[in-house]
């Protein structure tokens, strides 16, 4: 809120500059299509006219090089043509060739001092070269020639400001006001200059003058109140805010300004009270509320008081705007950050229900589905996301993942193959695509394509431990390429030591190779490292059985049974107390 006055001032200055640079096609054509051709033969005049018109056509089509060539030929025929110099100056200005632009602009401005378009081009070129004082001098001449054009006064004031001549700039605005009457932009720019030159008393009077001109314009009161805050006059600031609330009590921007005031004086209770009043108002747009809650995000992660406030404001925003996808999305962001996954998913579902156009809520929704292992929802949400965002890679990835878990392997392969072409500059996602293709093809018993997918993943990152481990494990289950499997598994354990899953894979490969003593050592460590009953226990039981430790094997088979992760033959092993493979 406090930057509103400064922002408006900058916008006004930019608007002034734009007035000088915008193309005034009809008047410009009048100035430029009547070039003097004295001293030329009839043929030369005809050639000049043809090239000039063609040059203008080419410029309007955007064919700058062709236009430049045409105008240069005109200049050869008539080196004194101000109109041609003007056209070339414009071409070079738009091409950011400021030295060339300045040369031609200066010449055409000198040739015809009363042509405002030539002078404005010259000013713009001077401004581009940061020759602000010279630009001001040209504006001064324009003001004398066209005393009824306020935009030239404003341009002059702006150039003085850029040049650091704040007093001169102020005097121009003063003259503007006297000549054309009171105006908001004149006053606000005068205030900016008064603050720049450290004249707070005069700035205060300018604010009050604005209020007198329009006593029911709430913005002017907030500008004045913010000025009082900036000058450490807090009592006057509060009095001014209360004054505006007498005639505009429901103005949410005033309540936000008051919240900012109370924050500046460390009055936490009144700060939050004013913030809630603003949020309760449906006239305060969702975008503004969203930005305020976004500003809370990092602070609330470290401060419980701010976190409580953020959640309360988010709940108000949803209640006041019950059909806003942005409102639900922001609430979901907080829940997601705080690892309240189920609650976050509910809010993201509402966010994408009311607004399907933003990809990020869909992406978070799919991530949470995967995190909660709700693959039915993941399949549904990712399918809809693919329809809405067909060029985004992650919906295809999540759809492939979901279909693998749901054992719809052909659908998984289709999604993964369709989506991989949309992966750009993201090696990890590319690896995930290839790796999941490897899984899907493996479950389809298409081992050749499965191996190729894993090989493609390792081409992207030869030391990806997960791919090395999974590839090695699938090879070991098929009892194929066990030397390759051992090499990959050994490498994954070198890169990530003390990982129970990777140790289990390596032990299992040794088991398949008949190296039972070594396998027992690795699998025993894996069981100890995992710290829980799992499929690793079944592998350990198998190797114990091979080593003649049948009663110990039975203990670990039962542990695997308790984990619910054993193989299809596990019950038979336990019942018969015998190894089956």
Give the span between the Cα atoms of 255 and 232, in whole angstroms.
Answer: 20
The answer as to whether 176 is a domain residue is no
Which pLDDT score is estimated for 183?
83
Query: Is 5's pLDDT higher than 70?
Result: no
Q: Is residue 222 part of a domain?
A: no
Model confidence, pTM? 0.71
Containing structural domain, residue 518? 476-576
Q: Does residue 557 belong to any structural domain of this protein? A: yes
Q: Is residue 543 part of a domain?
A: yes
Check if the beta carbon of residue 155 is closer than 8 Å to that of residue 17. yes
Tokens 């090696």 sit at which residue? 427
The DSSP secondary structure of 63-130, one letter per residue, reads -HHHHHHHHHHHHHH-TT-HHHHHHHHHHHHHTT-HHHHHHHHHHHHHH-TT-HHHHHHHHHHHHHTT
Whether pLDDT at 98 is above 90: yes
Span 160-175, pLDDT tens digits: 999 999 999 999 998 9
Mean pLDDT throughout 261-273?
94
Q: What is the mean pLDDT of the chain?
A: 90
Structural domain total, the chain: 1
Crossing angle between the packed helical segments 218-230 and 4-21, to the nearest 10 degrees = 110
Give the per-residue pLDDT at 316: 97
- Render pLDDT for 328-386 as a digit per residue (tens, 0 to 9): 999 999 999 999 999 999 999 999 999 999 999 999 999 999 999 999 999 999 999 99
Residue 287 falls inside a structural domain: no
Mean per-residue pLDDT for 490-511? 95
The pLDDT value recorded for residue 29 is 38
Q: What is the CATH number of the domain that holds 513?
A: 1.25.40.10
Within a domain: 512: yes
Residue 487 lies in a domain: yes
Helix (H, G, I), strand (E, B) or coil at 446: coil
* In-domain check, residue 480: yes
Distances (CA, A) of 443 to 226, 477, 508: 67, 12, 19
Given this model, what pLDDT does residue 35 score? Answer: 57
Cα-Cα-Cα-Cα torsion 527, 530, 533, 539, nearest 10 degrees, comes to -40
Residues with Cβ within 8 Å of residue 85, at least 6 apart in sequence:
75, 104, 105, 107, 108, 111
Q: What's residue 366's pLDDT?
A: 98
pLDDT digit string, tens, across residues 451-486: 999 999 999 999 999 999 999 999 998 988 999 999
**Tokens found for residue 25:** 């096609």
């Amino acid at each position: 809120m406090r930057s509103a006055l400064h922002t408006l001032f900058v916008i006004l200055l930019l608007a002034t500059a734009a007035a000088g640079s915008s193309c005034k096609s009809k008047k410009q054509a009048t100035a430029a299509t009547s070039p003097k051709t004295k001293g030329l033969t009839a043929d030369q005049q005809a050639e000049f006219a043809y090239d000039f018109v063609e040059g203008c056509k080419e410029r309007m089509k955007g064919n700058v090089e062709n236009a430049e060539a045409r105008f240069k030929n005109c200049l050869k025929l008539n080196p004194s043509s101000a109109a041609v110099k003007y056209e070339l100056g414009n071409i070079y200005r738009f091409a950011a060739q400021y030295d060339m632009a300045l040369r031609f602009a200066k010449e055409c401005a000198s040739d015809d001092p009363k042509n405002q378009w030539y002078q404005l081009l010259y000013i713009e070129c001077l401004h581009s070269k940061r020759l602000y004082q010279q630009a001001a001098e040209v504006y001064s001449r324009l003001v004398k020639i066209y005393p009824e054009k306020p935009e030239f006064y404003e341009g002059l004031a702006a150039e003085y400001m850029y040049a650091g001549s704040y007093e001169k700039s102020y005097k121009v605005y003063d003259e503007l006001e006297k000549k054309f009457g009171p105006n908001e932009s004149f006053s606000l720019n005068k205030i900016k200059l008064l603050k720049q030159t450290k004249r707070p008393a005069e700035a205060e009077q300018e604010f009050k003058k604005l209020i007198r001109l329009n006593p029911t314009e709430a913005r002017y009161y907030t500008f004045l109140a913010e000025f009082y805050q900036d000058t450490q006059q807090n009592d006057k600031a509060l009095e001014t805010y209360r004054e505006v609330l007498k005639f505009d009590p429901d103005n949410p921007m005033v309540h936000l300004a008051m919240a900012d005031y109370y924050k500046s004086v460390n009055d936490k209770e009144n700060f939050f009270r004013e913030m809630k009043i603003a949020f309760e108002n449906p006239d305060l747009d969702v975008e503004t509320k969203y930005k305020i809650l976004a500003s809370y995000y990092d602070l609330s992660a470290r401060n419980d008081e701010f976190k409580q406030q953020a959640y309360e404001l988010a709940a108000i925003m949803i209640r006041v705007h019950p059909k806003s996808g942005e409102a639900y999305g922001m609430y979901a962001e907080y829940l997601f950050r705080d690892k309240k996954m189920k609650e976050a998913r509910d809010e993201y579902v509402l966010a994408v229900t009311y607004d399907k156009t933003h990809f990020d809520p869909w992406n978070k929704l799919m991530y949470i589905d995967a995190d909660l292992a709700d693959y039915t929802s993941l399949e549904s949400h990712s399918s809809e996301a693919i329809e809405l965002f067909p060029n985004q890679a992650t919906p295809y990835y999540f759809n492939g993942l979901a279909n693998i878990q749901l054992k719809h392997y052909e659908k998984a392969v289709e999604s993964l193959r369709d989506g991989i072409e949309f992966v750009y500059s993201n090696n990890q996602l590319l690896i995930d695509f290839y790796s999941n293709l490897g899984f899907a093809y493996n479950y389809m018993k298409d081992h050749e394509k499965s191996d190729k997918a894993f090989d493609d993943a390792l081409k992207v990152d030869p030391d990806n431990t997960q791919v090395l481990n999974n590839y090695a494990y699938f090879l070991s289950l098929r009892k194929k390429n066990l030397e390759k499997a051992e090499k990959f598994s050994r490498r994954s354990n070198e890169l990530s030591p003390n990982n129970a899953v990777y140790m289990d894979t390596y032990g299992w490969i040794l088991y398949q190779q008949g190296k039972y003593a070594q396998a027992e050592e690795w699998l025993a460590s894996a069981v100890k490292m995992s710290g829980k009953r799992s499929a690793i226990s079944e592998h350990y039981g198998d190797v114990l059985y091979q080593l003649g430790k049948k009663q110990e094997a039975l203990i670990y088979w039962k542990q695997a049974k308790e984990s619910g992760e054993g193989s299809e033959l596990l019950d038979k092993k336990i019942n018969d107390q015998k190894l089956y493979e």
